[in-house]
Amino acid sequence: MNLDATAPIAVRAAAPAELIGPDVALGLTWLPLSPDDAPELAELVGAIEEADRHPFRTSPQEVADWFVGAWRDNQRDTLAGRDPDGALRAYAQVTVAPGAERVVRAFLSGGVHPGWRGRGVGRALITWMEGRGRQLLAASGRDLPARIGAYLDRTDDKPLALYGSAGFTPVRHYADMRRSLALPLPAGRIPAGIRIVPWSPVLDERVRLAHNETFADHWGSEPRTVEVWSQRESTFAPQWSRVALDEARGEVAGYLLSARYEHDWRVVGHSAGYIDLLGVRRPWRGRGLAVSLMASAMAAYRADGIEYAEISVDTENLSGAHLLYERLGFEVFHGAVLMTIEL
């Protein structure tokens, strides 16, 4: 469908007037998910990740976080498929976070239990999620470019084919990289006038604003509101996070926020500190500050007995970040594809 890119979002989204759930003939009963379903949903997600041999596992707390946020309507934006015995066999969720200034985005996530694949359930979920995504975009009232997207494992052909047949196309590739901390750490060169300090709650709002400014020119990034920013708490590792301060100006020059995903460690066979967010504001770029922040964080990982550092990167990032990480000893071990419908 070719729609005028200048048309209002309510027109471009082409939202269905009524959203019809998957056919009961598929063998499942369909109802919304609720926060009370989080433990069972975590079990289903774990079974899917194990069957698909993903090098990670989503913790129960991370799944519980999927239901948190004033912008979420769990009753209308989620779907659970239960078998005749009441067991959860499929799920779907559509999310449109607040704060968009450049592109308003609806993200889809869902999965089907390995024992229920090959019956058309996955295709039905994608149809439902796309329809709900269009409804949410139309209702947003944001007359901006719009996107319906899903992050998929780039080595898993079946989901890629399913989304492709539904009209989604790959627009971005992401690489997960890791580096052994047994290797010598890079010799970070801290620019004159800059002091790298541990993250603290007092600095957090300044870091959020610095992040929104730093990533304003990054593809696919949108400003994070206070509430969205706070949702990293279940995996946030404050003891491994760093802030670079310009002492003369009293400003945040850069930051590195770390995460701790212990559920992944038994799967990959080693412990890891994850570099979740790394940024340097424009006036301080080109001075080696990013490497200094990484060196400080990796030293903290190693001091706590952690074996690897990990980071994810957009391989098409114009800053060439992935090349920098390669020079620092990081190697690709996994990856994802962003499949989208652009509106």
pLDDT at 1: 47
64-85 tens-digit pLDDT: 999 998 889 999 999 999 999 9
Strand order in the sheet with 88-95: 29-31, 78-82, 88-95, 104-112, 146-153, 331-342, 169-180, 308-314, 272-280, 251-259, 242-246, 194-198
How far apart CA 131 and CA 192 sit, in angstroms, is 53
240-292 tens-digit pLDDT: 999 999 988 889 999 999 999 999 999 999 999 999 999 999 999 888 999 99
How far apart CA 343 and CA 339 sit, in angstroms, is 13
Q: Is residue 104 over pLDDT 50?
A: yes
Beta strands in 50-184 (DSSP E): 78-82, 88-95, 104-112, 146-153, 169-180
- Tally DSSP H helices, then E strands, for the chain: 11, 12
Residue 147 burial by CB count (10 A; 0-12/13-18/19+): exposed, middle or buried?
Answer: buried
Give me the chain's average pLDDT, please.
92
pLDDT at 191: 86
- Tokens coding 306: 């952690």
Q: Is residue 317 over pLDDT 80?
A: no
Q: How confident is the model at residue 121 (pLDDT cuts 50, 70, 90)?
A: very high
Q: What is the mean pLDDT of residues 4-14?
A: 85
3-class SS of residue 243: strand
pLDDT at 329: 92
Q: Could you tell me which of 96, 61, 67, 65 has the C-alpha nearest to residue 80?
A: 67
Q: Is residue 237 over pLDDT 60?
A: yes
- DSSP notation for 96-126: --S--SS-EEEEEEEEE-GGGTTSSHHHHHH
Domains and CATH numbers, the chain: 9-167 (3.40.630.30), 176-334 (3.40.630.30)
